[in-house]
Amino acid sequence: MTEPLLEAHGIGKRFPGVRALHRVDLHVAPGEVLGLVGENGAGKSTLMKILAGIERPDEGELRWRGESTPIESPRAASSLGIALIHQELNLADNLDVAGNLYLGREPRRFGLLDRQRLEADARRVLTRIGVPFGPGTPITELSVGQRQLVEIARALAADAQVLIMDEPTSSLSTNESERLFEVIRELSNRGVSIVYISHRLGEVIDLADRVTVLRDGERVAELVGDEIERGRMIHCMVGRELDSFYASRPHALGQVALEVEELRTEAHPQHAVSFTVRAGERVGLAGLVGAGRSEVLRALFGIDAPRSGSVRVTGRELSLGKPRNAIAAGLALVPEDRQGQGLILTANLRDNIGLASLARRSRLGFVRRPLEDALARRQQTSLRIKAPGPDQLAGNLSGGNQQKVVVAKWLALEPRVLLLDEPTRGVDVGAKHEIYEMISRLAENGVAILFVSSEMEEILGLADRVLVMHEGRLTGELGREELAESAVLQLATGGQEAATR
Amino acid sequence: MKKILGILGLLLVICFVTALNSDSFMKPGNISNLASRTGLYGILGIGVAFVIITGGIDLSVGSIVGLTGTMLPWLLVKKGWSLTSVLGLIALVSVCIGLLHGLLVTRLKLQPFLVTLCGLLIYRGAARYLTDDLNQGFGTGHTELRELTTGPMGSMSSLLTVVGAVLTMWLLARWLRTRTGPFMAGGLRAVSRSWIATLRGLRSRAGFVAGLKRCPAWLQSRALLVGLVSSTLVLVVGGVTWLTGRTLLAEVPVPMPFWVLVALALVSGLLLNETVFGRHLLATGRNEQAARFSGVRTGLIITVAYVLCAVLAGLGGVLFTLDANGVQPSQLGQFYELYAIAAAVLGGCSLRGGEGSILGIVIGTAVLRLLYNAFNLLGIPYSVEYAVMGTVILLGVLADEVIRRIVAKRRRASG
């Protein structure tokens, strides 16, 4: 075994109210592909940011080629040869490929841009990873997958020896992903180390020589060779078996609670969406980012007025375009952006929990404080919100507890239909389990659940039925027995719609 | 809470310094005059605070004062309208101005700064054009009407008694529902226990904690306890001086505008803190999007805030004119929007929205008026007035920010 290129020892990092990392060890050898997996909130991103110099660790040590080296800034990281390729791409749209590859490090002659050398250098790097486009191509003409390759080329142009890739395939088509994997394998053969972070365990199994599993900010497992296997990874990630984790209990379904007919949103006006959700049913809305799932939820709840379409809640026509009407009809939305849309961070628990139901707890326009206080305390106990009391500011809570506050606000109104957009994003594993429990309990009590999720495990584990969207269209519907990752992925990428019919 | 104590401290320091250096400061006439000024400007401050809480700003306050203040003598004296129709028209104009601002901001998403800046120019121009830029006044007529602002009513003692009694009853009634036993006995017990806790707290922290434990369950919050102790203190001081008729407090007559301000402050405080509207207003100011996602009609709430602001500015205009007896359409109300905004910021409103207390605004206005008064009495040249006022406000805001950061840092270190 060769000497590790980059090592991290006993890394710890705290944020207000959260322990993001606790004594985490990690190392990468030259030419090695290290898979890094863990649930959202397990600390993967924080760890990567520390390696790339964006965050500083509170404790622990970083070593480069065996020597203790603090990485104090992104600049320091890149001069060592560490490059982080973000989930969201960071390319300048107004420049061409070559301009992006050498952005900030342009070759100069007499203080002026040396265009010829720039092109020549760029061409050399691009041939190295074998791409079908030249250095003069404008970024806007490239597909998302090709842009991803430009990002990699940029890292190579900076002479990177460790490439950290955060969810690189989250918005790629199958072909583009295949091309990316080829490039990764080739780079690894040439001695470039790769840290590969992904929720798509299949990719990790294919690519990784070794896998590090994080859970709740701690390294819980290190898998090599045959140990790299789906069930094992999930077990390490969630700390328990999948079925009990998602709290799935079969129960009888009721009448149709939500009926959506020919709904056209502003984002995808050319496609109409129709579906129903029955009382007590948990329906998952799957698809890639940008498939139009959130837009459907927003339109149902009246945040954005749709182009056309009709919605019935328990048989009654809902007038769209105003959240108040949706709330009155029995709808509730736990939005995607918890901190911006779900909560008032500078207000306390009592105000946040009471906000949507104030009118019910008032007389002649005056708030009845004792009722408000009682509600906050009741919700805090029943949802197990970890906070000293109702006076605690929402901004001081951890992600999971914040999400519980948002849910608590809506449960105070006893909704018939609960819409959730990415309900467990940025939530630690423990709280995640509690949120699943809560969703299942509500379903058992006859609440219709419609949730959007980008996490395959969540879709597979929690939903009774899955609707899949691709570019604004409903491409398919899968019942519990047909549910499989491959089937969902195929529909989500727009492939073989007919196959499931 | 801390902000209010800070600004109250500033108020007392300025009082102290001025009183030491000038004999006329503590004369009943001066204090009464100061109260009258505070009343007039405070009305505008409370109005603009509603808008600032939504995260907006209203720069047109001074021009609305100018417009309504000019309309009153012009229509009444020059045009010979009846008092009811003049006041009705003024109310209507104020409401329409507020509605216009609110709808432009919420429907067309124009920036509040721009909308009300245009308002500032338009209403001033309208006032000057309507009256041909001529001075307007009541002359010797309408003396009963002018009594509304010039006439005193009762003494400072009686005012304190009334305010203390109202606040005490309010605090007690707020938790009436959770009371055990008869109201009077429960109330008296709560008051006495809170006093014991506070007095013991003056000696040692442990004493306060022990005293707090013996208070009834609903009084276990420090803010409530301090509120109850200070409101009963005000009640007792006011009552005793009133009954004995001694001390300065009993001698100082309270001018009408101050009564108006006190009543307005009580109503506004109630509106902001105890009603659904007030909660929705604060929520909208703190995070408009989250409020909307919770079903709050944010557009309506913001529009109402602009209407309240314009109506209070309209009321202010009427009172200012009555107080002065005559107006120059080009002068009345100039810069008043800035005084109002400054008072609100001094009193703890954040221009980012979502924060503000009515008591703070009243005290903030008093500080500004006090500074002005001190210039007069201490013979500081007027030319430097704005510079000093600006500096004081800047220092106040800076101190607040510094304290906020220190508190945040300490909390992070301990948390």
Domain membership flag for residue B402: no
- Judged by CB atoms closer than 8 Å, whether chains meet at A355 and B282 is answered as no
Element holding B129 (H helix, E strand): helix B112-130
What average pLDDT does chain B have? Answer: 87
Query: Could you tell me whether strands A67-68 and A218-224 are parallel, antiparallel, or unpaired per DSSP bridges?
Result: unpaired
Round to whole Å and give the CA distance between A381 and A394: 16
Closest-CA residue in chain B for A325?
A: B295
Starting at the earlier edge strand, list the strands of the sheet with A193-197: A82-85, A162-166, A193-197, A33-37, A210-215, A218-224
> Any chain B CB within 8 A of the CB of A351?
yes
Round to whole Å and give the CA distance between A422 and A408: 16
Check: CB of residue A310 under 8 Å from CB of residue A262: yes
Q: What is the DSSP letter of A473?
A: E
Q: Which of A303, A355, A367 sits opposite B283 (nearest CB)?
A: A355
DSSP A351-370: HHHHGGGGGGGEETTEE-HH
Check: CB of residue B126 under 8 Å from CB of residue B67: yes
Smallest CA–CA separation between A347 and chain B, in Å? 8
- Judged by CB atoms closer than 8 Å, whether chains meet at B283 and A362 is answered as no
Round to whole Å and give the CA distance between A58 and A481: 47
- B2: how many CB neighbours lie within 10 A of its CB? 11
Nearest to A454, CA basis, from A426, A417, A496, A495 = A426
pLDDT (0 to 100) of residue A498: 41
Residue pLDDT tens, chain A, 501 long: 568 889 999 999 887 666 788 899 999 999 999 999 887 667 888 888 899 888 889 899 999 988 888 888 888 888 888 988 876 667 887 888 888 888 877 777 777 888 888 888 888 888 877 777 888 888 888 877 788 888 888 888 888 899 998 888 776 767 777 888 888 998 899 889 999 988 777 888 889 999 999 887 889 888 888 888 877 887 787 765 555 667 667 778 888 999 999 999 988 888 999 999 999 999 999 987 778 899 999 999 999 988 899 999 998 999 988 999 999 999 999 998 888 899 998 899 999 999 999 988 888 888 888 888 889 999 999 888 888 888 888 888 877 889 999 999 999 999 999 999 999 877 766 778 888 989 999 999 999 999 998 877 788 888 999 999 988 889 889 888 888 777 887 788 765 544 443
Which homologous superfamily is A244-500 in?
Answer: P-loop containing nucleotide triphosphate hydrolases (3.40.50.300)
* pLDDT digits 0-9 by tens, B290-309: 999 999 999 999 999 999 99
> Any chain B CB within 8 A of the CB of A365?
yes
Round to whole Å and give the CA distance between A395 and B286: 12
Query: Could you tell me whether strands A67-68 and A18-28 are parallel, antiparallel, or unpaired per DSSP bridges?
Result: unpaired
Whole-number percent of chain B with pLDDT over 90: 45
B338: tokens are 């800035």
- B140: how many CB neighbours lie within 10 A of its CB? 7
Round to whole Å and give the CA distance between A198 and A184: 14
Check: CB of residue B73 under 8 Å from CB of residue B138: yes
Instruction: Report in angstroms the alpha-carbon separations of B162 from B151, B183, B244.
Output: 19, 20, 16
Round to whole Å and give the CA distance between A153 and A115: 18
Round to whole Å and give the CA distance between A146 and A132: 9
Check: CB of residue B388 under 8 Å from CB of residue B368: no
The SS3 of residue A435 is helix
B76: tokens are 């009444």
**Owning domain of residue B342:** 2-153+276-380
B122: tokens are 């338009």
For the domain that residue B114 is a member of, what is the CATH number? 1.10.3470
Nearest to A216, CA basis, from A65, A430, A47, A375 = A430
- Judged by CB atoms closer than 8 Å, whether chains meet at B292 and A303 is answered as yes
Helices marked H in A65-129: 74-80, 97-101, 115-129
Round to whole Å and give the CA distance between A310 and A331: 15
Indicate the number of domains in chain B.
1
Rounded to an integer, the average pLDDT of B200-207 is: 79
Instruction: Report in angstroms the alpha-carbon separations of A411 from A127, A255, A419, B259, B289.
Output: 57, 21, 12, 45, 20
A450: tokens are 């419609």
The SS3 of residue B278 is helix
Q: Which of A327, A342, A365 sits opposite B276 (nearest CB)?
A: A365
Domain membership flag for residue B170: no
> Any chain B CB within 8 A of the CB of A393?
no
Smallest CA–CA separation between B286 and chain A, in Å? 7
Helix and strand counts by DSSP (H, E) for chain B: 18, 4
Mean pLDDT is lowest, of A134-138, B165-169, B180-184, B246-250, for B180-184
Round to whole Å and give the CA distance between B10 and B18: 12
- Judged by CB atoms closer than 8 Å, whether chains meet at B287 and A323 is answered as no
Equal CATH topology for A6-243 and A244-500? yes
pLDDT (0 to 100) of residue B301: 96
Check: CB of residue A255 under 8 Å from CB of residue A446: no
- Is the pLDDT at B98 greater than 90? The verdict is yes
Round to whole Å and give the CA distance between B15 and B211: 33
Residue to substitute from A343, A351, A358, A393, interface B, most B β-carbons within 10 A = A358
- Which residues from B are below 8 Å from A330, CB to CB? none
Check: CB of residue B284 under 8 Å from CB of residue B302: yes
A213: tokens are 């599993």
Rounded to an integer, the average pLDDT of B117-129 is: 96
Check: CB of residue B36 under 8 Å from CB of residue B312: no
Helix (H), strand (E), coil (C) string for B188-225: HHHHHHHHHHHHHHHHCHHHHHHHHHCCCHHHCCHHHH
- Judged by CB atoms closer than 8 Å, whether chains meet at A358 and B280 is answered as yes
Orientation of helix B385-414 relative to helix B358-378, angle to 10°: 140
Nearest to A331, CA basis, from A456, A234, A447 = A447
- Is the pLDDT at B221 greater than 80? The verdict is no
> Any chain A CB within 8 A of the CB of B13?
no
Round to whole Å and give the CA distance between A204 and B405: 45
- Judged by CB atoms closer than 8 Å, whether chains meet at B290 and A366 is answered as no
The residue ranges of every structural domain in chain A are: 6-243, 244-500
Task: Give the amino acid at B389.
Answer: M
- B329: how many CB neighbours lie within 10 A of its CB? 25
Rounded to an integer, the average pLDDT of B103-128 is: 95
A42: tokens are 């397990």
DSSP A123-179: HHHHHHHT-SS-TT-BGGGS-HHHHHHHHHHHHHHTT-SEEEEESTTTT--HHHHHH
Q: What is the DSSP letter of A73?
A: S
Task: Give the amino acid at A314.
Answer: T
Smallest CA–CA separation between B180 and chain A, in Å? 14
Round to whole Å and give the CA distance between B221 and B229: 12
A52: tokens are 């790339």
The domain A6-243 is classified under which CATH number: 3.40.50.11540, 1.10.10.10, 3.40.50.300, 1.10.1270.20?
A: 3.40.50.300
Predicted TM-score of the model (pTM): 0.78
Q: What is the DSSP letter of A240?
A: S
- Is the pLDDT at B413 greater than 60? The verdict is no
The SS3 of residue A298 is helix
Instruction: Of A130-139, A456-465, B76-85, B180-189, give the range with the top mean pLDDT.
Output: B76-85
Round to whole Å and give the CA distance between A38 and A50: 17
- B270: how many CB neighbours lie within 10 A of its CB? 14
- Which residues from B are below 8 Å from A17, CB to CB? 415
Nearest to A313, CA basis, from A447, A459, A474 = A447
Buried b (16+ CB within 10 A) or exposed e, B76-95: bbeeebeeeebbeebeebbe
The SS3 of residue A32 is coil
Q: Which of B275, B293, B294 sits opposite A366 (nearest CB)?
A: B275
Phi-psi region of A133 (alpha: psi -120 to 50; beta: other; left: phi over 0): beta
